[in-house]
Structure 1
Amino acid sequence: MNGFERRKEQKKRKILETALTLFMKYNIRKVSVSEIAKEAQVSQVTIYNYFENKDNLVHEVIIFYVDKIWGEYEQLFNSNIPFPTKVKKIIFDKSEVASHINEEFFEYFMKEYSGEDNYIDKLYMEKALPRFMKLFNEGKEQGFVDPSISNEAILLYIQMFKEFLQRGDVTKNILPITEDLTKLFFFGIAGKNEE
């Protein structure tokens, strides 16, 4: 990548980071392209050159956000910390994010997640699901997940959880109980809450 392409990518990343911050803090509809441009220290024309319109920008921000969160999870999954610590970190992180996210951004995110052939679903199937299964197998090996529970049953449980979260009629109810749902998800599988 030459210097021009590197600067272009850095500028695009700055726009995405700025838009994500503003969208998570405020209502997406209330954040204008001009506000994003001002905060990112670029022109509105630059934003339109990269993203064409605000809808495309919002879509790209969702992808950027998902990739960012997944990168953080991969680091956690690849660490040598014990299973219960990984689970607690996942629960804490989800709870922390949920407490700082604008409800409208979350609804838009869930709408994107519930659509057909979406980026989030693709990442889930190709990367997240296999990595979560590996995490549960680690939990079995370390004695924190009941080894008598088959991987097929765990997969079915994950699929039921995922399909429920993709229902449009539950979106408004999910954000306030993110921590509870995450605890239920993990400790329901483990059968106990190890301190």
Structure 2
Amino acid sequence: MDGFEKRREQKKKDIVEAALALFMKFGIQKVSISEIAKKANVSQVTIYNYFESKDNLVRFVFKFYVDQEWKEQKKLLQSELPFNEKIKKIIFEKGVAVTQINEGFFQDFMKDYASGQSYVEEVYRKEALPLFLTLFEEGKQQGYIDSAISNESLLYYLQMFQEYLRREDLAKIILPMTEDLTRLFFYGIAGKREG
């Protein structure tokens, strides 16, 4: 990649990062291209040259956001931490992340996810699913998951959550309950058992 291409890619990244920061703070609908341009230190024309429309920019922002979040989750899932520590971090980080997201951004993100053609779905199928299976195996080996539960059942359980979360009308309801739902997913209604 030559110097021109590097600068071009850096500008695109600056625009996407600026847009993500503004969208997460104010929501997609309330942020204008001019505000994004100002934050990214570029002209509005530059944004349109790179992304053609706000809708296309939003798609790039969603992909960038998913890649960022997945990179952190992947690092955690592949770490040497014991199963219970991984689960604690997954629950804690989800709870913290949710408090930093504008409700409108979350709703738009969930609407995109509900479309069935979301980038989230692609990352889930290709990368997350195998790592979650590995996590479940670790949980079984370390005594946190009943070894009698089949991987098929665990995957079905995971899929039920996934399918339900695709419903567009759930965004407002789910946002404040993310931490509870994550705990429920991993520990069931009986809660965490010590020992």
Query: Does the TM-score normalized on the shorter chain lie above 0.5?
Result: yes
Which has the larger displacement, 103-112 or 116-125? Answer: 116-125
Are 1:77 and 2:67 matched, yes or no?
Answer: no
Give the deviation of 1:7 after TM superposition.
1.5
* 2:91 matched residue in structure 1: 91
The 10-residue stretch of structure 1 (136-145 or 149-158) with the greater mean CA deviation from structure 2: 136-145
Q: Deviations over 1:110-154 (max 9, x none)?
A: 000011322111111111111111111111112211111110110
Aligned residue for 2:188, secondary structure, equals: helix
Percentage of matched positions with identical amino acids: 59
The structural deviation recorded for 1:192 is 2.7
Q: AA paired with 1:150?
A: S
Q: Distance in 1 between matches of 2:158 and 2:191?
A: 15
Please show how residues 175-186 of structure 1 align to structure 2 within 5 Å. Answer: 175-186=175-186
Structure 2 alignment gaps of length 5 or more: none
Tell me: CA distance 1:155–1:45, structure 2 relative to 1, closer, same or farther (3 Å): same
**Counterpart contact for 1:23–1:102, Cα < 8 Å:** yes
Contact 1:19/1:61 (8 A) holds in 2: yes
Which deviates more, 182-191 or 62-71? 182-191
The answer to whether the aligner puts 1:14 opposite 2:11 as a matched pair is: no
Secondary structure of 1:29 counterpart:
coil
Question: Does 2:150 correspond to 1:150?
Answer: yes
Corresponding residue for 1:63? 63
Matched AA of 1:167: R
CA deviation after TM superposition for structure 1 residue 190, in Å: 9.7
Partner of 1:44: 44
Shift of 1:156: 0.7
Alpha-carbon distance between aligned partners in 2 of 1:189 and 1:156, rounded to the nearest angstrom: 18
Which shows bigger deviation, 114-123 or 23-32?
A: 114-123
Q: 1:180 to 1:43 in 2, by over 3 A?
A: same
Post-superposition CA distance 1:10-34 (Å, at most 9, x none): 1111111111111000021111111
TM-score (normalizing by structure 1): 0.95
Give the 3 Å change call, closer, same or farther, for CA 190–117 of structure 1 in structure 2.
Answer: farther
State the alpha-carbon separation in 2 of the partners of residues 138 and 190 from structure 1.
21
8 Å contact 1:95–1:178 — kept in the other structure? Answer: yes
Report what 1:166 is aligned to: 166
Cα deviation code 1:144-167 (max 9, x no counterpart) = 111111101101100111111011
Partners in 1 of 2:59 and 2:169 — Cα distance?
21
1:28 is aligned to 2:25: no
Counterpart-to-counterpart distance in 1, 2:11 and 2:42: 8
TM-score by length of 2: 0.95
Conserved 8 A contact 1:146-1:190: no
Q: For 1:82 and 1:190, locate their aligned partners in 2 and report how far apart those are by CA, in whole Å.
A: 21
Deviation of 1:168 (Å):
1.7
Q: Deviations over 1:28-64 (max 9, x none)?
A: 1111111111111111111111110111111110111
